[in-house]
Amino acid sequence: MKQFAGELLTRICDYEGSRYRSEFWEGQNRAYEDAVERVALQKLLPSQGERLIEIGAGFGRLVELYPGYQQIVLIDYARTQLEEAQRYLGHDERITYVVANVYDLPFVDNLFDTVTMVRVMHHLTNVPAALREIQRIAAPGGTAVVEHASKLHLKSIIRWLLGRQDWNPFDSAPLEFVELNFNFHPAWMRRQFEAAGLQIKNIRTLSHYRIEWLKRHLPTSLLVKLDSWAQPTGNWWQLSPSIFLQAQAQKSGRRVASGVVDLFRCPTCKATKLLQTTRSDSPGYVLVCQGCQRGWSFRDGIYDFKTPV
């Protein structure tokens, strides 16, 4: 089960201990959803680059779509999800695993050529703050590919017109339909991107045929093909339950990180000087912030910036 954690004034959806891989994806009749998301990512991602980060990577379902990147950083708020990713992906020296909070990412500015975030936005209570962090860590001119759930899709419009749902899909306000599960109006989301300094370059709509009857009676390959044909229409209208936005970070600056430790900054005080040390009370080693003296652990191949040690 998902657990919900409160941090200061921000509610955070925590998948710690959940069986997301087996209970949501594998054997759960979601081959269509998985395939159309892969189509969209392959169309929107730059084919290669030095460094890519996936925010909310879970068990690493999409990592095989990043073969052209020299370094891949996978972050998730749940350590158990990254442990599952290690088992799922096996050894890959390109991958760095980091437990972190999307609202306080533990990375220096201008670091990543490409940022991806899929099936995460619908859990966020503070979209502007998350987008500001994405813009901050993206390299100048870097690409962000972000998916969000939409409230303005054909099924919701029809239900509302027939009086079968209370909420208005044309209302621009975010809709929390279950605790920490949000649908967003596409126009509202585009405004948040622009306000954060992320200029939208391409939009793809997907899951046009996410209807159980169709998924049971038509071949998945056919539905995926039809969806791939429909996805580019997102640049003109958005009437599907899921939307992918490709945006470019509009800013100046330069990248400063070289070694692995140089990637990080303290999520608490934002200092960029972290020294690696060992402690008798902590397995692995600890990155100690030279600003606030908090320590952040590294053990079993995972950096943990969720709870100081």
pTM of the model: 0.93
Quickly state the pLDDT bin for 6 (edges 50, 70, 90). Answer: very low
Mean pLDDT of 280-291: 87
pLDDT score recorded for residue 4: 35
Q: Is residue 20 pLDDT above 60, yes or no? A: yes
| Mean per-residue pLDDT over the chain, rounded | 93
Which of the two residues, 11 and 4, has the higher pLDDT score? 11
Can you tell me whether residue 247 is helix, strand or coil?
A: strand
**138-162 residue pLDDT tens:** 999 999 999 999 999 999 999 999 9
Other CB atoms within a 10 A radius of the CB of residue 206 amount to 24
**89-121 residue pLDDT tens:** 999 999 999 999 999 999 999 999 999 999 999
Q: How far apart are the first and last CA of the chain?
A: 26
Tokens of 54: 């996936």
**41-95 residue pLDDT tens:** 999 999 999 999 999 999 999 999 999 999 999 999 999 999 999 999 999 999 9
Can you tell me whether residue 163 is helix, strand or coil?
A: coil
CATH superfamily of 3-258: Vaccinia Virus protein VP39 (3.40.50.150)
- Domain residue ranges in the chain: 3-258, 264-309
Other CB atoms within a 10 A radius of the CB of residue 287 amount to 21
Separation CA 251–CA 214 (nearest Å): 44
